[in-house]
């Protein structure tokens, strides 16, 4: 039975993961470019069969021996991109599809920050406890559940967008887009300046990622969020020439917003449905989707209030094709009580090693060509060793148990995966 393998990657990574027993440690020379922030790219996840493991080191497609890798790391010339393969107890096979091909998981968009601004904590060690009687530092303070209200639901979500008629300075909230005001992009979820972009280009080489305070202006791809259960439709066919993803509306030279995918006249579309988050806790929980294709920041919010049930957007795995690979959605699960400005961001101002990019757990959702929706929950390792302060279970029309309870995963390891039959319903319950 083939299953999910979840990889964690760093900025500028283009990894050659294959369906084999090898555990590659990818090394990348440190890169300083004109971009305002580090570029980030998705890794590719392929279905694999468990087998023997060996470790090799790869730099730009060239295999290095262990000594070369060690010297490069110690000299600060290389960045290690760890790959995490959680132990997985496969579910019983779902009903046989009519086609003879087996479903693939699709690409995963799991990111690892390489900046030293907020490093993840080291793995726990087995060394003896210190003899000092000093008390450990207190945990980071939690904001009140009301610290960040839910974003607007997005009006006019089914309205056709008038390409080339709306100024780039006007956020398109009347066409379904949801403003993410806490990011300081005038409501946009991310900005990518592409000064050399043209509609007939096959790829884009010059990509400068916007930072807080930048605005959607001429020569910029302006990405946006959609309401819960929906996803954006706009990105250009030309993507980064070194496999960066690019998404959003384009601000043309006249300062007006253009559709980048004219085949989709609306800005948002429904996913395949069937999956919801149910919050049975007494505090709010923020679950944040990666903005992909785009800057790949985990900023697209599902903010579930206590007792609330909200739809999770479940994309078809051919929704966005990356490097000829099908893709699925990734949602970062934050600790309870964190508002959007502390959770649906890269660096959390209140919990830099346990929220945002360092959230304790990730939810993966995607519908394969055979109609099966694959749902996974797993620890965000090796990026984060933070622990969730609540439990999760996936129930409904699924073919195996999948849960996280009191720090343990069903079947052991660092995560679990289940499948929902076509037309089924699944509940990701926080309790």
CA distance 282 to 112: 31
CA distance 214 to 37: 13
Chain Cα centroid distance, residue 203: 23
Residues 372, 356 contacting (CB under 8 angstroms): no
Residues 332, 362 contacting (CB under 8 angstroms): yes
Residues 317, 374 contacting (CB under 8 angstroms): no
CA distance 355 to 361: 10
CA distance 228 to 245: 22
Q: What is the pLDDT of residue 116?
A: 36
Torsion angle of alpha carbons 189, 195, 197, 198, nearest 10°?
120
- Average pLDDT of adjacent 10-residue blocks, the chain of 431 residues: 32 28 34 34 36 48 63 58 38 43 41 40 40 47 48 79 98 97 97 92 91 97 97 95 94 98 97 98 98 96 98 95 88 98 97 97 96 97 96 97 96 94 97 98
Q: What is the pLDDT of residue 411?
A: 83
Q: What is the pLDDT of residue 189?
A: 98
Residues 10, 65 contacting (CB under 8 angstroms): no
Q: What is the pLDDT of residue 48?
A: 33
Among candidates 412, 277, 288, which has minimal Cα distance to 402? 412
What would you report as the CA-atom Rg of the chain, rounded to the nearest whole angstrom? Answer: 21
* 3-class SS letters over the chain: CCECCCCCEEECCCCCCCCCCEEEEEEEECCCCCCCCCCECCECCCCECCCCCEEEEEECCEEECHHHHHHHHHCCCEEEECCCCCCCCCCCCCCCCCCCCCCCCCEECCEECCCCCCCCCCCCCCCCCCCCCCCCCCCCCCCCCCCCCCCCCCCCCCCCCCCCCCECCCCCHHHCCECCHHHCCCCCCEEEECCCCCCCCCEECCCEECCCCCCCCCCEEEECECCCCEEECCCCCCEECCCCCCCCEEECCCCEEECCCCCCCCCEEECCCCEEEEECCCCCEEEEEECCCCCCCEEEEEEECCCCEEECCCCECCCCCECCECECEEEEECCCCCCHHHHCCCCCCCCCCCCHHHCCEEEEEEECCCCCEEEEEEECCCCCCCCCCCCEEEEECECCCEEEECCEECCCCCEEEEEECCCCCEEEEEC
Instruction: From residue 59, give the alpha-carbon distance in Å to each of 220, 245, 387.
Output: 32, 21, 32
Exposed / middle / buried, residue 67 (Cβ in 10 Å: 0-12, 13-18, 19+):
exposed
pTM: 0.69
CA distance 270 to 72: 47
Residues 220, 251 contacting (CB under 8 angstroms): yes
Chain Cα centroid distance, residue 196: 27
Q: What is the pLDDT of residue 200?
A: 83
Q: Do you know the residue count of the chain?
A: 431
Q: What is the pLDDT of residue 89?
A: 41
Q: What is the pLDDT of residue 19?
A: 28
């Amino acid at each position: 039975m083939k299953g999910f393998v979840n990889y964690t990657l760093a900025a500028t990574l283009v990894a050659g993961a294959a369906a084999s027993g090898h555990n590659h440690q990818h090394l990348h020379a440190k890169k300083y470019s004109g971009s305002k922030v580090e570029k980030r790219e998705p890794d590719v996840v392929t279905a694999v069969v468990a087998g023997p493991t060996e470790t090799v080191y790869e730099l730009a497609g060239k295999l290095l021996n262990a000594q070369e890798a060690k010297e490069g790391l110690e000299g600060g010339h290389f960045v290690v991109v760890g790959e995490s393969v959680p132990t997985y107890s496969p579910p019983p096979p779902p009903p046989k599809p009519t086609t003879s091909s087996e479903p693939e998981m699709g690409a995963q968009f799991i990111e690892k920050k390489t900046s030293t601004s907020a490093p993840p904590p080291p793995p726990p060690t087995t060394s003896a406890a210190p003899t000092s009687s000093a008390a450990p530092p207190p945990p980071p303070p939690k904001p009140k559940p009301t610290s960040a209200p839910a974003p607007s639901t997005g009006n006019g979500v089914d309205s056709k967008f008038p390409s080339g008629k709306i100024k780039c300075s006007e956020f398109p909230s009347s066409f379904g887009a949801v403003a993410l005001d806490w990011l300081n992009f005038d409501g946009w979820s991310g900005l990518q300046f592409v000064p050399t972009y043209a509609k007939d280009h096959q790829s884009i080489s010059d990509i400068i990622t916007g930072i807080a305070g930048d605005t959607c202006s001429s020569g910029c791809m302006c990405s946006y969020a959609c309401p819960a259960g929906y996803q954006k439709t706009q990105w250009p066919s030309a993507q980064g020439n070194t496999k960066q993803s690019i998404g959003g509306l384009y601000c043309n030279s006249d300062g007006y917003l253009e559709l980048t995918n004219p085949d989709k006249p609306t800005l948002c579309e429904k996913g395949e449905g069937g999956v919801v988050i149910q919050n049975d806790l007494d505090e709010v929980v923020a679950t944040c989707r990666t903005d992909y294709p785009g800057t790949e920041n985990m900023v697209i919010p599902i903010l579930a209030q206590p007792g609330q049930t909200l739809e999770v957007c479940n994309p078809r795995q051919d929704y966005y094709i990356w490097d000829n690979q099908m893709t699925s959605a990734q949602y970062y699960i934050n600790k309870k009580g964190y508002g959007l400005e502390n959770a649906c961001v890269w660096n959390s101002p209140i919990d830099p090693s346990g929220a945002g990019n360092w959230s304790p757990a990730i939810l993966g959702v995607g519908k394969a060509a055979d109609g099966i929706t694959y749902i996974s929950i797993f620890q965000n390792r090796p990026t984060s060793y933070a622990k969730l302060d609540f439990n999760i279970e996936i129930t409904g029309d699924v073919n195996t148990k999948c849960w996280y309870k009191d720090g343990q995963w069903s079947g052991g390891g660092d995560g679990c995966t289940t499948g929902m039959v076509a037309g089924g319903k699944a509940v990701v319950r926080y309790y």
